[in-house]
Amino acid sequence: MSIPLVINLRPRLLILLAMALLTTNAHATATGPVVRLFPTTVLEDIRETGQAAEAMENSLQEVIGRLDLQQQLFSESLCDGADGDQGCDRIAKQLGATYLEMLNIMSDGLPDMERAVDSTRRSLEKRLREELGQRTTPTMLQNTLLGEVSATPQTVRPALRGKSGIRLSGRFKQYYDLVATHNNGPSQSLAVVAADIYLDMEEASMLIAATQQEISRAALMEQLNQSFGLITPEMSAVVSGVKEILFGEAMTNAPIAAPPNAVGETDFVSPLAM
Amino acid sequence: MSRITISAVFITATLVLLGACATQPVADVCTGKLPGNLDRAISEVEHRLRQGCDYHFNAYFTSLLAIAAENPDRDNPRRFSDHLMNVQADGVISRRQASALYNRFFNVKFVSFTGDYNTCAQACPVRTQILTDMRAELTDKEMGLVKVSDDPERFYRADNLFLEADLVLEATCRACQGGRPSPDELASRNR
């Protein structure tokens, strides 16, 4: 069944969260080529991705609430394994119908997400190629990664990734607001941030496309399941996954694309040092 | 020529030859055990190098690292820096070699990830090789920064730098290729 693909989308979408936060560094450094990795166009792409996420959220919120109630009813009615019980069959069919509704909403919303993600990916690709690929030497790149502009005080900002309990669109808005209004953020390796986002956007684009292709098949499978009144474990998993993505519930701790640790240099500096 | 004269010439020649031998390094001078104290070991190495044991330089450097690892100290990088400067001043190694050696072991930055041309042109075609070299250099940095200098924080920075360089190079090189994996990347995947 196609549902695992839908589930696989989750970490990619979580990356979108990180993407928005990571761009809080866009104005962090005043000099060097890296600052140009996040021009206004990229920020605008991020804002649009947030809007697409918000639209999907809003449209899914009601149906997921219904799914929750139906699932709870199914569970409290001890319908698990109760084959042949008419009441349970009815609940199962209702659940399946709501699930189909959710798939349709996702199917409607994904093209906008796809466009937003692809736009971010393409604009970042251009910036990476020009700024890090063509205008930067390996030596400069290494210096950039090490954050030669150090000792900038850390400012309060949201955690990069992890359990937040914040809605996807809310995080995007929060990050965008930070980027748009904050000019003296911490000095961090924007190159890493841009690279991380770009690679994730690439993967997200592919997964969204694959998911779109599979949704229709998933819907068909569910329509068939409707005939038998089944609730598949995959249905539950998908619903949980969508909730995690959109509403920040029980989000997993993804690895953080952190800049190098700001550990102070030792006092001694060799005349041989690079 | 009388026998006495011949004998005198022979003896003189022998003495001259023996005297000449005395200025050449003998095996014992070059290969003897170094003292356990790093400062004394460095002095001894520099003395031997001045005696003509140049070809043992690499072995000496390895030995000094091993001795230093037995006596980890935050000041050890300075000792090695001074040593390399002295050796370079004596003409045993070049300034570039001295710098490369020092940075390889005691700097967070990677000698194997440097260059003056743009990243797309210089690094991307040999990205896999660069990362292989950086990984090997990271092992040397572990020796220099953790074992010799007792400075794990700097080693963690180097380790982090390596991981970030890997990530940034992958993204940048893909961007250089217009979103397609580079030939180097494809080759490494197929291996």
Residue B186 Cα distances to B128, B183, B191, angstroms: 10, 5, 9
Higher pLDDT, A266 or A97: A97
Please list the ranges in chain B whose pLDDT falls under 70. 1-27, 179-191
Examine the pLDDT at A24 and tell me if it is beyond 50. no
Q: What's the confidence (pLDDT) of residue A101?
A: 87
At A121 the pLDDT is 87
To the nearest 10°, report the CA torsion of B173, A257, B112, B97.
Answer: 150
Give the pLDDT of residue A21.
33
Give me chain A's average pLDDT, please.
67
**Tens digit of each residue's pLDDT (9 = 90 or more) over A217-273:** 777 777 766 655 555 666 667 666 666 666 655 544 443 333 344 444 456 788 888
What does the pLDDT read at residue A10?
Answer: 39
Average pLDDT over residues A65-71: 87
Q: Any CB–CB contact under 8 A between A145 and chain B? A: yes
Closest CA to A37 of A187, A238, A29: A29
Residue A86 in this model has a pLDDT that exceeds 60 = yes
Contact B168 A141 (CB under 8 A): yes
pLDDT, tens digit, for every residue of B75-85? 999 999 999 99
Q: What is the pLDDT of residues A31-53, one digit of tens each?
A: 444 457 778 888 788 778 778 87
Nearest to B119 among A141, A257, A268 (CB): A141
Q: Which of A34, A118, A129 to mutate to test the interface with B (most CBs of B within 10 A)?
A: A129
Identity of residue A147: G
pLDDT of residue A8: 38
Q: What pLDDT, on a 0 to 100 scale, did the predictor assign at position A22?
A: 35
